[in-house]
Amino acid sequence: MSNGETPGAPLPLADPPGTGGSAPAAAGRGPQAAAGGPATNGTVGERGRGLVAGNSPRRPAAARSWLRLLASELGLIFRRWRNLALLAVLAILPIVLGIALRVTAPQGGGGPESSFLDQLAGNGVFLAFIALTIMLTLVLPLAVAVVSGDSIAGEAGSGTLRYLLTVPAGRTRLLSVKYTALVIWSLTASLVVSVVSLITGVVLFPVGPVTLLSGTTVSLAQGLLRLLFVTLFIAAAMSALAAIGLALSTFTEHPIGAIAAVLVLAVASEVADNVPQFAPIQPYLPTHWWLSFDALLRSPVATGDLARSFVSFGVYALIFLSIAWARLTTADVTS
């Protein structure tokens, strides 16, 4: 709560008509960026002319304003030392993993029963699949939880959230910008793991045609294309988790609480997914389909598993984004 404010006083979302006022600068973004666009100092007559014209001149301006707000949000995410440290960890761990597996990897080849470790000895491309599989259990969810849990709660805790909501319909726009930035962060984190582990695999292991888990051999180009699809699959899974974190972030002003809640939820889901007694509910757990990307490493591709995975990701994203929207658009923001 800001100093000098009456407790519980609702936040005015826009200046009274004709006052020409603007919100204070928020967290160094400036008054225009805080409002997501240029200050609204126009007269009532000018605004009326825009409405009579069907708002067509305003649509490009609204899109540019949205993109400016997105660029500002991405700048905040990717310039924070904490987030850069997370990306550094995501880059270092595949290198350490590759060195360890180079010493211990068995000699072998492909086949219907081949594991990732067996495949790795014959082709370094599989180091990327191994790294993604291992880091998907905790490290990638941690990176997503930290950023998503801080997305709204961090703004509220620092007192800048109210200044980001000083234009009509600003809450819905802010939520769309926040989630878009989280999707980009999820994709970036997944790409860092894939690219670094692929480079490490090329340096430490032989590289050539890729033998899939089903025993079919495909060209190196097709193998790399499948790796790209796997990376996008994992980014989609992490984007669904980011939606959960964004929703939880709207219920608190303390980011650490939202971050911890996301991690507890992810770990509890993974534990329940490995307990036979929870078999009836396992397909509905948020983490159940995370490892289904192995459907892309078989020939033919198991499209049924992929479809169910994306349906699960989409449903979780839709449900928790709806919760976040309902919470953010109805709450009295006083900090």
With a CB cutoff of 8 Å and minimum separation 6, the contacts of 98 are 127, 131, 197, 200, 201, 203, 204
- Separation of CA 198 from chain center: 22
* pLDDT attached to residue 86: 96
Contact 122, 109 (CB under 8 A): yes
For residue 47, is it within any domain?
Answer: no
Residue 203 lies in a domain: yes
Which pLDDT score is estimated for 267? 94
Q: Which three-class secondary structure state does DSSP give residue 218?
A: strand
Cα 232 to Cα 125: distance, rounded to the nearest angstrom: 16
Q: How many domains does the chain have?
A: 1
Backbone angles phi, psi at 98, to 5 degrees: -65, -40
Q: What is the pLDDT of residue 174?
A: 87
- What does the pLDDT read at residue 143? 96
How do the pLDDT tens digits run along the chain, 335 residues long?
A: 334 444 434 444 444 444 444 333 344 444 444 444 444 444 434 334 343 444 455 678 888 888 998 999 999 999 999 999 999 999 999 999 999 988 886 554 444 445 566 666 678 898 999 999 999 988 999 999 999 999 998 887 777 777 666 655 578 888 999 999 999 999 999 999 999 999 999 999 889 898 888 888 899 999 999 999 999 999 999 999 999 999 999 998 899 999 999 999 999 999 999 999 999 999 999 999 999 999 999 889 989 999 999 999 999 999 999 999 999 888 766 65
Domain span including residue 75: 69-330
7 in any annotated domain: no
| pLDDT at residue 36, rounded to an integer | 41
Interatomic CA distance for residues 209 and 219, integer angstroms: 5
Domain-embedded: residue 25: no
Element (H, E) at 211: strand 210-211
The reported pLDDT for the residue numbered 48 is 40
Residue whose structure tokens are 């225009």: 32
Domain-located, residue 24: no
**From CA 110, how far away is CA 119, in angstroms rounded?**
6
For residue 120 the two structure tokens come to 């790795």
Sign of the alpha-carbon torsion through 203, 204, 210, 213: negative
Does residue 246 form part of some domain?
A: yes
3-state helix, strand, coil in the chain (%, to 5): 65, 0, 30
Is residue 5 assigned to a domain?
no
Structure tokens at 253: 């002003």
Inside any domain, residue 188: yes
- Kindly report the length of the chain: 335
Torsion of CA 173, 178, 182, 183, to 10 degrees: 0
And the tokens for 90?
A: 């995501």
